[in-house]
Structure 1
């Protein structure tokens, strides 16, 4: 009886396993995914460099004489023209200095007349040998001293006039007024740490940015010309990206490369000039300069075909057995929606274009050529 029961249990277990296997789902088919073959093409990549913007003229307005600030004739942010009066320093002390200097000049002129009269009186007396020649020589010496005193007095008058003129502070160029830290009634001096204000001429602006040594070598090799000056003439216009990443509507021109590298940063300063007809840019603005660099026989990969993990960029390469391998690539630039690749893939390699977020290492796929829309995007970029 026990043997019958055991045999029945074995038969039941065997039948159960067979039923489970017959009911097991079939393996999922390999996903059909678009792929592309890596090719080379000529393209232009954009490189962006942080830039600091300055007006073509940025001037600190400082007093050149000490005194009380009598009048402030402009407001912060105002546009002023060359020669316009900005500040008035109390001129009364300087006017009195001028009056004193004029009085000294008149006294010196009178002394000269008196010395001349003495010479005129003694000359005939010496000729007639009434008085000695020594007295005439002494009179002539006194006359020269009087003449020198006149010149000294004239210089003092001129200096007093200059100082009086410094009480009227004018704009040296057209531009916009900055902050006004000193208010009416403040005591100002030429030795003050802070200027009265700043004045910026921004009808054009300079955008300064820096190139590292490697970038500078590439920069020089891209354009025709033996000297830096010749290469600058052949440079295309550059774009200024503002702080919100919007492109400034006016293109600029690189017109200066510094004469030497900064020993601290290992970079060289480059300047681009941008027209600013509507004065929308001001000194102190920041942004980025976008430079276009041309590349021949470049390997391009759509950004959509890449995945980033731990600061590395990968693509899924497809081998001859249609299995995928996650392959790291080295990105050296960007052209439109494509990455410019230095290492990782080569011409002829197949990579997966879309659906890579669900792929796993070694997974089997069914490759298909990219759709017309995808192919057009790749070819366009």
Structure 2
């Protein structure tokens, strides 16, 4: 009984193996598609990330410290040189104000004394008692005292109000545009305290103005590629906020010194952007610049996907059709690549059929598709 069961199991296993072999024999041998080398133009590019900014941006600083009294314009307004942007109300320093007031009082006393001397000498001169020279000296002293008092009074008014009375208005307290363009930013508000620009302080920026018709691209290029580009190279600028258009630009600056960022050295580049009337570029738009590093026209090429690399030598090779689904290895020499196509310098001809590694099919698969 046990022998019968054992022989039955062996028989079933043998049948299963025969069925499996039968199915395997029905499968068609694996086949590969091929393609021939072709001629095309290969452009090797690099991409620099950055932003578009105005060519020239002017910051407006106050000529006197004080508090913002009024802001007359808004960000985005267009201005001409000399237009009034804001006014500053002077808050005088008490010590300086007291000192200036005291100087006015002292000079007033000096003027009064000079006036007495002048009047007396004039009376004596009219009577012929003193010489002309002595009278003219008294007159000069009186005129000098009068001028000194006027100067002191003007200084007092400047400290108190920010401008001298009778000097054509409050020019120091009026903040005017120093260039024509668009107001990009007004970082202060009414009531803010501002500091004048001087030799020891840059001063508070009240507004920034730029000509938006002249824009540049400013970005970073890796040290591995900066040596391959040069000034006057043509660029294409893609703006993140504007789809389906690229603005032409021309490279005009490559930084002579790089800066280290995240372990790599980056070099700043700048390029003049050619604008179009239909699009308005805002300062600070993020952008990418495509830079052509190398270009070859009508060269023999293959797809990078059909190329393999030797595990030992790391040299490139392809497999060329020599018979019915029979291929032989051909070592090749390659040139520039754009990431999709690669130039073939030697190793294959335009008549060779090259194996496509990632496109394979079997007859069973084809039959199944037809049945579906």
TM-score by length of 2: 0.60
C-alpha distance in 2, partners of 1:111/1:353? 111
Would you say 1:31 and 2:31 are equivalent positions? Answer: yes
C-alpha distance in 1, partners of 2:13/2:246? 80
Would you say 1:177 and 2:183 are equivalent positions? Answer: yes
Q: Residue 210 of structure 1 aligns with which residue?
A: 220
Matches within 5 A, 1:186-205: 186-190=191-195, 195-205=205-215
Cα distance, 1:255 vs. partner?
Answer: 2.3
C-alpha distance in 2, partners of 1:264/1:87? 41
- SS of equivalent residue, structure 1 residue 25: helix
Cα distance, 1:54 vs. partner?
Answer: 1.0
Does structure 2 conserve the Cα–Cα contact (< 8 Å) formed by 1:203 and 1:279?
Answer: no
Uncovered stretches (5+) of structure 2, i.e. residues with no partner:
1-5, 197-201, 309-314, 362-372
Q: Per residue, is there more helix in 1 or in 2?
A: 1
Matches within 5 A, 1:133-152: 142=141, 146=145, 149=148, 152=151
Return closer, same or farther for 1:113/1:82 CA change in 2, 3 Å cut-off. same
Return closer, same or farther for 1:37/1:183 CA change in 2, 3 Å cut-off. closer
Q: Residue 79 of structure 1 aligns with which residue?
A: 78
- SS of equivalent residue, structure 2 residue 209: strand
Return closer, same or farther for 1:31/1:79 CA change in 2, 3 Å cut-off. same
Does structure 2 conserve the Cα–Cα contact (< 8 Å) formed by 1:89 and 1:168?
Answer: yes
Return closer, same or farther for 1:77/1:112 CA change in 2, 3 Å cut-off. farther
Cα distance, 1:18 vs. partner?
Answer: 7.4
How many residues are treated as equivalent by the alignment? 316
- SS of equivalent residue, structure 2 residue 170: helix
Does structure 2 conserve the Cα–Cα contact (< 8 Å) formed by 1:240 and 1:247?
Answer: no
Does structure 2 conserve the Cα–Cα contact (< 8 Å) formed by 1:37 and 1:347?
Answer: no
Return closer, same or farther for 1:29/1:145 CA change in 2, 3 Å cut-off. same
Matches within 5 A, 1:49-60: 49-60=48-59
Q: Residue 319 of structure 2 aligns with which residue?
A: 318
Q: Which moved more, 1:209-218 or 1:144-153?
A: 144-153
- SS of equivalent residue, structure 2 residue 229: helix
Specify which of 334, 340, 349 is matched with residue 338 of structure 2: 334
Specify which of 150, 155, 160 is matched with residue 163 of structure 2: 160
Kindly provide the CA deviation profile for residues 194-225 of structure 1, in whole angstroms up to 9, marking residues without a partner as x. Answer: 744433321111111233344232224xxxxx
C-alpha distance in 1, partners of 2:271/2:35? 42
C-alpha distance in 2, partners of 1:75/1:254? 34
Return closer, same or farther for 1:21/1:242 CA change in 2, 3 Å cut-off. closer
Return closer, same or farther for 1:21/1:195 CA change in 2, 3 Å cut-off. closer
Kindly provide the CA deviation profile for residues 312-343 of structure 1, in whole angstroms up to 9, marking residues without a partner as x. Answer: xx998315763488x9x9997527xx3446xx
Does structure 1 conserve the Cα–Cα contact (< 8 Å) formed by 2:238 and 2:246?
Answer: no
C-alpha distance in 2, partners of 1:275/1:285? 15
C-alpha distance in 2, partners of 1:13/1:92? 106
Q: Residue 378 of structure 1 aligns with which residue?
A: none
C-alpha distance in 1, partners of 2:68/2:12? 110
Does structure 1 conserve the Cα–Cα contact (< 8 Å) formed by 2:238 and 2:247?
Answer: no
Cα distance, 1:249 vs. partner?
Answer: 4.8
Does structure 2 conserve the Cα–Cα contact (< 8 Å) formed by 1:63 and 1:189?
Answer: yes
Q: Residue 271 of structure 1 aligns with which residue?
A: 270
Uncovered stretches (5+) of structure 1, i.e. residues with no partner:
1-5, 221-230, 308-313, 360-381
C-alpha distance in 1, partners of 2:51/2:353? 41
